[in-house]
A and B are shown apart, each in its own frame.
Chain A
Amino acid sequence: KAGVTQTPRYLIKTRGQQVTLSCSPISGHRSVSWYQQTPGQGLQFLFEYFSETQRNKGNFPGRFSGRQFSNSRSEMNVSTLELGDSALYLCASSQGDYSGNTIYFGEGSWLTVV
Chain B
Amino acid sequence: ELKVEQNPLFLSMQEGKNYTIYCNYSTTSDRLYWYRQDPGKSLESLFVLLSNGAVKQEGRLMASLDTKARLSTLHITAAVHDLSATYFCAVNYGGSQGNLIFGKGTKLSVKP
**Interface residues, chain A, CB within 8 Å of chain B?**
31-33, 35, 42-45, 48, 50, 55-56, 90, 92, 94-98, 101-108
Contacts and interface: CB of A to CB of B under 8 A. Distances in A.
A108 B42 contact: yes
A90 B31 CA distance: 21
B42 A56 contact: no
B104 to A, nearest CB: 5
Nearest to A98: B97
Chain B contact surface mostly: strand
Interface stretch (B18-26, B43-51, B58-66, B71-79): B43-51
B87 interface: no
Interface residues of B, number: 25
Chain A contact surface mostly: strand
Given A42-B104, A45-B101, A90-B42, A102 B48 contact: yes
B99 A33 contact: yes
Contact of A103 (B41, B45, B50, B101): B45
B80 interface: no
